[in-house]
Every structure is written in structure tokens, then in C-alpha cells.
Amino acid sequence: MSIPAVNAPLVHSHALAPGQRVTLDRAHVRGLRFRQINPKEAFTLVDSEGRFFRASLTALTEDGGDALVYEALVASTESPANITLFCAVLARQRMLVVVQKATELGVVRVIPFISERSVQRSGLAHEKAHAWPGQALRAARQCRRASIPEIRSTVTLVEALDDPAFANADRRFYLDDVVGGRTEWKRDGAPPVDIALAVGPEGGFTDEERKLLDDRNATSLRFGGRVLRAETAVLVGIARLQETYGDL
């Protein structure tokens, strides 16, 4: 499942090398403005051969601009695993941390949802939901990502599970601490492209919510015998998926 064009990596039509000055087109301008990149600031650029570089913006207009390529990156900043994080809205403004760290760990999108035990819609303003996209943008810039994760508006759990990012994923997982949750994290068959990971709030999913997940062929996973805080479970879950299917 693709992300919006402005979130996608900025790709140049030619092979690049450090020390090269390049011309930017309108598509680059849209992406740079979305990233809030100003002249003299750095950004990540992908060349026609799929190599990743750092470049410094030297000029930008509505129609184009130019930049100086100054560094070749040793590897892609983008994981081969397209992980969508479905996260129950957490209290005490912890979604800001979740969005930041999920971005650093390489997710392609975050879809917050309301569950029985999560923060409800009336509390979204207090949780600074308006600031979540900006948090992802700043985190992506800090860790040199070429893409910016898509941060969706908050939906219900049912709406989240019916979203194509979950319904059409090659693998669907949810974290749970109930007895019987599977502990296996393994690659089986061809590497998946799209992966959905659902994490509930503190207190976990209810039995009814677990049934919704099971009915959609999601696999329950747990971490040994320890009960993790919700935000810790998010980060460990993403890291384990990146280790199994991605680039960690």
C-alpha cells in the first residue's frame, strides 16, 4: 500500500555523486515544502540507481530549485518491510513518543484508534493529536529518512481493521499478554511487503476486541512472561518485526 506522494522519498532522475549540483523540479519542491526544508538545510535524496545521498538545498522557488549533493549514505534509509502501526491512543501524551520512535524505527504509517480501554475522542485534544504529524516530520529529518511516515486521523478499532493497510497486509499481528499468545517471530515463505501491527492500550484488548482481530486472521504475539507498558510494547514489537522482515 503506497503512501501519499509528498511523503514518498525524493527521487532524482539521474545518477548522483558527492560534489554534484543538481536541479530540482516541481515534485521536489512539493516534497521539500512538506518537509519544511529551507535553503542551507539538508535532506535525503535518492538517485536513479536507488542510492541514497545527503544534499544541501541552495535555492528553492515555486517551480524548482537546486541543491548540492555532499554525502553518499552507506545504506538505504528505508526498510524493505512496509510496517503500518495501528496504535490505541495512549494517555499522558505518550503518543508523541510513540510517533517519534516509530518513525525512527522505520514504519511507513501510524493509524491511531479508539478502543474500549484507550483514550476516547473527547481526550484527543489533551493528547495533542494535532501535533502527531509534526512529530513524525521532525523525527524523520533527525534520522535522515528519505520518506515521511503518514500519520492518519484517529478512527475506531473496527474502522482501523477494515482499512486496506490492515485488511490487505501480507502479515497481520497484534500484541497481547494473555496466556496462549504466540511467541514465534519467524519468516515463513517469501518476505512480506506490507505488515500490520496492532497494539492496544494499557490494560490490553478486551475479549471482544481480540475476537475482532482473530476473525481478521491476525496473529497474537507476546513477549515472554513480562507485561510491558503499552509504549514499550510498541517499540519492541516494531523492532522485532524489523529484525525478522526488515533491515535491523
Decide which of 72, 90, 106 is a domain's last residue: 72
The predicted-structure confidence for 127-180, as pLDDT tens digits, reads as follows 999 999 999 999 999 999 999 999 999 999 999 999 999 999 999 999 988 755
Centre a 10 Å sphere on the Cβ of residue 223 and count the other Cβ atoms it contains.
17
**Helix, strand or coil, per DSSP, at residue 224:** coil
Is 77 a domain residue? no
| 245 three-state secondary structure | helix
pTM, entire model: 0.95
CATH number of the domain encompassing residue 207: 3.40.1280.10
At 49-89, the pLDDT tens digits run: 999 999 999 999 999 999 999 999 999 999 999 999 999 99
Clarify whether residues 93 and 68 are in a common domain: no
- 160 plus 201 within the same structural domain: yes
18 & 103 share domain: no
* Within-domain flag for 97: yes
Q: Which domain holds residue 233?
A: 82-245
Q: Among 72, 91, 110, which residue terminates a domain?
A: 72
In this prediction, residue 155 carries a pLDDT of 98
Backbone angles phi, psi at 242, to 5 degrees: -70, -35
Q: Is residue 164 part of a domain?
A: yes
Report the range of poorest mean pLDDT among 80-89, 221-230, 238-247: 221-230
Helices (H), 119-219: 132-142, 157-162, 164-167, 207-215
pLDDT class for 224, splitting at 50, 70, 90?
confident
**C-beta atoms surrounding 58 within 10 Å:** 14
What is the Cα–Cα distance from 43 to 22, expressed in whole angstroms?
Answer: 13
Q: Are residues 131 and 213 in the same domain?
A: yes
